[in-house]
Amino acid sequence: QVQLVESGGGLVQPGGSLRLSCAASGNIFGISNMGWYRQAPGKERESVATITTHSSTNYADSVKGRFTISRDNAKNTVYLQMNGLKPEDTAVYYCNSRMVVGLGAEYWGQGTQVTVSS
């Protein structure tokens, strides 16, 4: 069964850094595009960053220059390095996987809380 498990969330001060990790099981990582999404209280879930099977990346305008998404296929893990964090980055961050073959099955992690506050 496919499972995505996020880790690395927590409380950080404005201007600080945090590194999120998402470990995937189920032997689907190598054929899946990966992404990080976030949802703040009272707001809709939004895409933060995505990375394809061949490591092409895309970022939301709000995080460009501050966040970096990467993947390690040998470890079946995708990362999100977050620098220069702002209070508006506070949200639950979710890992997403979408297969590029077959029916394009999509999977979600349970989320990890990121709180930026002094």
Mean pLDDT of the chain: 96
pLDDT, mean of residues 14-36: 94
- pLDDT of 26: 81
- pLDDT of 33: 97
Of the pLDDT bands very low, low, confident and very high (cuts 50, 70, 90), residue 13 is very high
Picking from 4, 6, 7, the residue whose alpha carbon sits closest to that of residue 98 is 4
Contact 103, 117 (CB under 8 A): no
Amino acid at 80: L
